[in-house]
Amino acid sequence: MPDRAISVPFGKDGTISLSVPDSRIAGILTPNPVAVPAQDRVIPDALARPRNSPPLHDFLGNAGRVLVIVNDATRPTPTRRFLEALLPDLEGRSVSVLVATGIHDELTDEEKARLFGPLKDRFTIHCHDSRTSPTEYIGDSKNGTPLHINRLVFEHPKVILTGSVEPHYFAGYTGGRKGFMPGVAGYASIERNHSHALHPESKLLALEKNPVHQDMVDALSVILDRVDVFSIQAVLDGDHNIVAVEAGHVQDSFEAAVDACNRIYAVPFREKSDVVVAVCGFPMDSNLYQSQKGLEAGKLALNTGGILILVSECRNGLGEGLFAKLLRAGRTPADVLEQIRGDYVLGAHKAASIAKLALESEIWLYSRLPAAELDGLHVRPIPDLASGIEEALRKKPEGKVTVLFSASTLVPLQETPVPA
């Protein structure tokens, strides 16, 4: 059997060339192909035909001050293109931009340049800081989560919420309501909300009965009673082309974007394999905390006792440090889970997810992280991806490998066998 050449993206512009025996490949999963609309028209067309809302110009009316909420650098959201499309309607108004970082780090200068380009000097840009930014308490969710939202939201008569909708491993999906909660929420709110990630209904593609999502909807309901919000949500394909934009009412545009998202990222496959290579891809490969989403997708295609190889540059290190501290607190994955059963702290959901996977399968990582930095995390670093895959296949002599591209967003769905 001939070898199959596979090109794996690594970091912003890098690629890794692999050669794997065709007989050992169970499948190569990529986002489903869909038609790509004219990129110069897709955003303006959505703005002209919003869902359950007047067009943007009419929505803004005579408002002199406008707040635009945007995603941070860990998402592939076309923020700059959104802002360029908004410029004609923002002309003559005082515009502030609030970066919905949640608990992520403040933007670096390089990230700010990438997100905004020359527009970074056109607006007043604020990076939300969940610990220090002034917030306003707006009540508790039905689940008892205290809802503290950045005060800037309530200091502007008109808010434009931008984002992108992708599968999310415990919120069901990113986008829409998530721009407020956790995007611009206080630390205590995010911590309590993320504690619900341990609930069995908090999972990929799930909204109904999902307590994480419900907190977000509860926060949104209060915000919409106090502030006028116009939402713009993009859905991208695996190559980051915009395939759909939905605008208008926050929930209506979000739900329409979810439908488009499912058509791209819910990918069928037949059989699980003993080795899975989960390739995160830029920019979701910024750190291990973010890249853990690739493990969530990868394990759906992995046989119990298999080897999951995560491919992520991790150029910004481990990310949120507490989850690494929690992992190191246990000598074994079982020890980690035992410790997490106590009081929840932010990061525990990530640590628990890694520990659960490590209990029954091996986790290997190809990244730029020094091997010593992974000590105690129950993750094995590999210095070379090609040789790592070869070793994994040697350890599983009867097994095959499945390669997942866009692993931070792709959701492998195993097909139900048709009875003979």
Q: Is the pLDDT of residue 182 over 90?
A: yes
- β-bridge pairing 172-173 and 167-168: antiparallel
DSSP 218-249: HHHHHHHHHSEEEEEEEEE-TT--EEEEEEES
Q: Is the pLDDT of residue 343 over 80?
A: no
Q: Is the pLDDT of residue 368 over 90?
A: yes
User: Residue 211 — φ and ψ, nearest 5°?
Assistant: -65, -30
Provide the Cα torsion 272, 364, 293, 300; round to 10°: 10
In the β-sheet with 242-248, what is the strand arrangement from edge to edge? 124-127, 94-100, 65-71, 158-164, 228-236, 242-248
> For 367, what's the count of Cα atoms within 13 Å in the CB-facing half-sphere?
32
Can you give the pTM of this predicted structure? Answer: 0.89
DSSP 185: B
**pLDDT attached to residue 76:** 86
Q: How far apart are CA 311 and CA 282, in angstroms?
A: 11
pLDDT per residue as tens digits for the range 120-137? 888 999 999 999 999 999
Q: How confident is the model at residue 419 (pLDDT cuts 50, 70, 90)?
A: low
28: which strand partners? 403
pLDDT per residue as tens digits for the range 187-201? 999 999 999 998 999
**pLDDT attached to residue 105:** 82
Q: How confident is the model at residue 413 (pLDDT cuts 50, 70, 90)?
A: very high
Look up residue 106 and give its two tokens.
Answer: 């403040």
Q: Is the pLDDT of residue 417 over 70?
A: no
**What average pLDDT is seen over the chain?**
94
**pLDDT attached to residue 257:** 97
Q: Is the pLDDT of residue 266 over 90?
A: yes
pLDDT per residue as tens digits for the range 234-262? 999 988 999 999 999 999 999 999 999 99
343 or 354: which leads in pLDDT: 354
